[in-house]
Structure 1
Amino acid sequence: MGNVKKSSVFKGIALSTIMLVSGFAGMPLSTNAAEEAETAVWSRQDAQGYDLSKDNTAPNIDNVDEVAPDYWVWDTWPLRNRDGSIAQINGYQVVFALTASKEYTWSGRHDEAQIRYFYSKNGKDWKMGGLAYESEDALGARQWAGSAMMDDDDKVHLFYTATGRKGEEQTTFEQRLAKTTFDIEADKKSKSVELSNFGEHEILAEADGEYYETQEQKTGNIIYSFRDPWFFQDPKTGKEYLIFEGNTAGDDKSLDPENIGDADFRETHNVPAGAEDYNGNVGIAEAQNEDLTDFELLPPLLEANGVNQQLERPHILVKGGEYYLFTITHKFTFAPGLTGPDGLYGFTNDSLRGDYEPLNGNGLVVATPEDDPFMTYSHAVMPNGTVISFVNEYRDENGELQFGGTFAPTLKLSIHGDETKVTGALKPGQIMPSH
């Protein structure tokens, strides 16, 4: 079941109305503004029936190889070209990841997160290079996940979440979308990849309170979201965007009928109190210049009001002319009355904006095993359909709970129309080159 909201009308419609009154009455109203206003809905009716099978579940892990023994390593993303393909630096592939020294606790790592980079000749054996920026120049008290793109001039644009403020006395969860740049090159003599010529750090977007909830608008007892900028160039239009995680704005927390489901479903479905506080969405901002320093917030691509609070690390894969919108979420962030596993969820549509349908009927693409429900997390789908993630909290060969903090085995994923299937596993952190 798919729904799309057109009631949150984009500012461009009002502008078009003014233009009509001002002497363009003879011209037809462009549909572009209306299209930009469409927000797809993941409803409570959609979010049902999460039965796990080998087709939608990651294989169990009972031991891990540490890619950086002195560091916790989690959310990971590859360096991509402007068109989304995997970038190569004289034969090297590069990934970026959130890291924290193991001097900090597993649960405390988020408060000390910094972005480091890793490089590999074969996409399997990774070596840590170092920080992806000068620590003192980065924005925020810590830096959370984002994306990285290398432009035609071999300049890397690193997008990230600036979380909190430097020097804050008490940890806060303010989140802003930020960016910096640097040069990257492979050193043949040392057989390494080096970064140089670091650019300024700048804020690209903050929650506006109109489309994206501010911290002041937040209600309920669950984490706030305005983070995870993922660069995307639409192959059909050439327009460039940041896709990100947000929450639906507004002081009045209530659910519309389409957030619940169709009329028959609504007759028998009880929505528990507090479900309205769970208002995750997939946000989008359009680039206003080629340098990617100016972005305009647009209405969300997808909302999960009354369904889920966190649609983390959203990203888009275009395959066979279809747009696949993927996101990750936790069991504990589903709204009251709903339950789904930790894992990767996805939706498909024939264009960037419109009536996204949940993949496999309810959106579930890759779940963690029932007997190891926190095994992996932060899945990201690569251009060839493989899926990377990190080892979260897993049970070892003796059944003892262990902390991971390293690359998980890459999964092979079959994607056909609105159906997906897990078909196997590769090496930990393995990334295949684009062809």
Structure 2
Amino acid sequence: MNFNRVAKQASVITLSTFILLGGSGTQTSAAPKDDRDHKETYDTSQITRYDMKQMIKQHGDDKFTVPDFDESTIKNIPSAVKKDENGNEVVMDVWDTWPLQNADGTVAEYNGYHIVFGLAGDPENANDTFIYMFYKKVGETSIDAWKNAGRVFEDDDHKNVPEDPYLKHQAEEWSGSATFTSDGEVRLFYTNREPFNVDEGRYGKQTLTTAQVNLSEPDTKTLEIDGVEDYKSIYEGGDSSIYQTAEKAFGVEDSGQMSTMSSNEINFDDNHTFRDPHYIEENGRKYLVFEANTGTDYGYQGEESLYNQAYYGKSNKFFQDEKAKLLQSPKKNLAELANGAIGIVEINDDYTLKNEMKPLIVANTVTDEIERPNIFKKDGKWYLFTSARGSKMTIDGIDDEDIYLLGYVADSLTGEYKPLNKTGIVLHQDLDPNDVTWNYAHYAIPQEDSDNVVVTSYMTNRGFFEDHKSTFAPSFLMNIKGGKTSVVEDGILEQGQILEEE
């Protein structure tokens, strides 16, 4: 018997059958199909496992690599100081920051000043997380030029709105955004974070919150915070059908009831997020885009999600092979819980909730956390950016030291969002967290009449060094053209600079 001839005939029959069944190219084997396999996008855009794995091949490309910074030039923010309860001076860490922006995302000018809001606190107290306001004269670029107006809110401001069901429980103030309104007012959006105390039935609920910040000028060189008004909660996730609530994440079905669960019953691997409200306007309507997790009507979480091909991308073969690996992976349990999302709601002119809307983009099975969404319109397209950490991901080949700014583009505000640079990579950094120049929370600020954006971030991990505090990182330029971005060569700016040219 001619075994070579028989083998060739078998190959022809197999290929012919494959073509008749609608295949193309040569046949390749894949892991077996499971009855639980399905493909459901829930009419949202996906950050897929395939794109994330392809992204690894782009590590080291200068177009996407955060620039190297000279450690010897890095300074603490001189004005980032406060007095403790005993009157002692405390040099603070300053991390997530965001500028006062116009409705289109460009930097706003307030009476000849530029303003940046940011999280700051005592390096010795991890729970000391509150919003401060920094400002400088337009045209100044040095980090020394930034003055500190102090905390935006007084200690008891959140207790003085008795009709609000969430403010009174606030423990910390987390990231957000700020807009300079058409009426000439400063409107702040931020995250009210409740304490995590199981015995008291508190699960760290995060609520999107707003207030008008009143400013005064006692002299020609000073801005002061003159109190807040119209202070209120906007949105905390509703009934968990669109966005996962803290109560749903941690097993408390009725958010109106105090829990009797013990700490041993809480799955602390479930990283619940509902924060970082970013304000935008489109056609006269107001919106908040924010970090969240998918709710029960949009894929949610659990083992079933591991069988959804939409979360994998590419081909059926990739889906079957990657699924088989994931089901045997030590990251399987985290992947089941991973349901990170970028959410959106429409708000009224008085900054109250108008409409809940489906997520703009989801990261089910990939990560539970895609942070600080930042979105703006450029050349008729919407650009969406989000920070992400490898330590929160479930992708083999991405490790704990990988830091990303991911980016997506769409022809309309609600999508479909496609990954920039083919995979979604915009910025990548792989530094030891103990490096003084380690940086995170990258924030792209559009510039008027320019294809460049200014990228800000913070530098140096909280509490890692005695002398080096978390501080404004040197800013740098990034270019955007259509579906591509690139770091601008020799585009490093001063620490905290928010305009390409001052």
- TM-score interval (norm. to shorter): 0.7 to 0.9
Distance across 1 between alignment mates of 2:109 and 2:380: 25
TM-fit CA distance, 1:103: 4.1
- Between structure 1 and structure 2, the one with the greater Rg is 2
Distance across 2 between alignment mates of 1:71 and 1:402: 11
Structure 1 unmatched runs, 5+: 9-37
Distance across 2 between alignment mates of 1:166 and 1:202: 21
TM-fit CA distance, 1:404: 3.9
2:474 corresponds to which of 409, 417, 420: 409
SS at match of 1:413: strand
TM-fit CA distance, 1:336: 4.9
Superposed counterparts of 1:16-415, under 5 Å: 38-48=43-53, 49-50=55-56, 51-61=59-69, 62-63=71-72, 64-67=74-77, 68=80, 70-104=91-125, 108=126, 111-121=127-137, 122=139, 124=141, 125-138=145-158, 139=167, 140-164=170-194, 172-187=203-218, 189-208=219-238, 209-218=240-249, 221-234=269-282, 237-250=283-296, 253=302, 254-255=304-305, 256-261=308-313, 262-269=315-322, 270-271=325-326, 272=329, 273-274=332-333, 275-287=335-347, 289-337=348-396, 339=398, 341-370=402-431, 375-384=438-447, 385-393=453-461, 404-415=469-480
Q: Percent identity between the aligned chains?
A: 32
TM-fit CA distance, 1:283: 0.5
SS at match of 1:342: strand
> What RMSD in Å do the two structures reach over aligned CA positions?
2.7
What is the identity, as a one-letter code, of the residue corresponding to 1:47? Answer: M
Partner deviation per Cα, 1:352-384 (whole Å, 9 max, x = no partner):
112211111221111224466971011111022
TM-fit CA distance, 1:195: 2.2
Partner deviation per Cα, 1:28-75 (whole Å, 9 max, x = no partner):
xxxxxxxxxx41111111112322222211222314211125111000
In the alignment of these two chains, the number of paired residues is 389
Distance across 2 between alignment mates of 1:252 and 1:279: 6
Q: Residue 349 and residue 117 in structure 1: after superposition, are their counterparts in 2 closer, same or farther (change >3 A)?
A: same
Given that 1:150 and 1:157 are in contact with CA atoms closer than 8 Å, whether structure 2 keeps it comes out as: yes
Distance across 2 between alignment mates of 1:428 and 1:336: 33
Distance across 2 between alignment mates of 1:433 and 1:136: 39
What is the identity, as a one-letter code, of the residue corresponding to 2:439? Answer: T
Given that 2:103 and 2:181 are in contact with CA atoms closer than 8 Å, whether structure 1 keeps it comes out as: yes
TM-fit CA distance, 1:184: 2.4
Distance across 1 between alignment mates of 2:75 and 2:466: 16
Distance across 2 between alignment mates of 1:420 and 1:6: 30
Partner deviation per Cα, 1:102-158 (whole Å, 9 max, x = no partner):
342xxx2xx221100000113522111111122211331110001111212222111
Given that 1:77 and 1:380 are in contact with CA atoms closer than 8 Å, whether structure 2 keeps it comes out as: yes
SS at match of 2:156: helix
SS at match of 1:177: strand
Q: Which moved more, 1:225-234 or 1:206-215?
A: 206-215
Given that 1:90 and 1:186 are in contact with CA atoms closer than 8 Å, whether structure 2 keeps it comes out as: no
What is the identity, as a one-letter code, of the residue corresponding to 2:477? Answer: K
Bigger fraction of residues in helix:
2
Q: Residue 390 and residue 252 in structure 1: after superposition, are their counterparts in 2 closer, same or farther (change >3 A)?
A: closer
Distance across 1 between alignment mates of 2:242 and 2:385: 20
TM-fit CA distance, 1:413: 0.1
What is the identity, as a one-letter code, of the residue corresponding to 2:176? Answer: G
Distance across 2 between alignment mates of 1:345 and 1:297: 24
The normalised TM-score by structure 1 is 0.82
SS at match of 1:348: strand
Q: Residue 131 and residue 220 in structure 1: after superposition, are their counterparts in 2 closer, same or farther (change >3 A)?
A: closer
The normalised TM-score by structure 2 is 0.72
What is the identity, as a one-letter code, of the residue corresponding to 2:208? Answer: L
Structure 2 unmatched runs, 5+: 1-38, 82-90, 159-166, 250-266, 448-452
Q: Residue 414 and residue 314 in structure 1: after superposition, are their counterparts in 2 closer, same or farther (change >3 A)?
A: same
Given that 2:203 and 2:246 are in contact with CA atoms closer than 8 Å, whether structure 1 keeps it comes out as: no
TM-fit CA distance, 1:408: 0.3
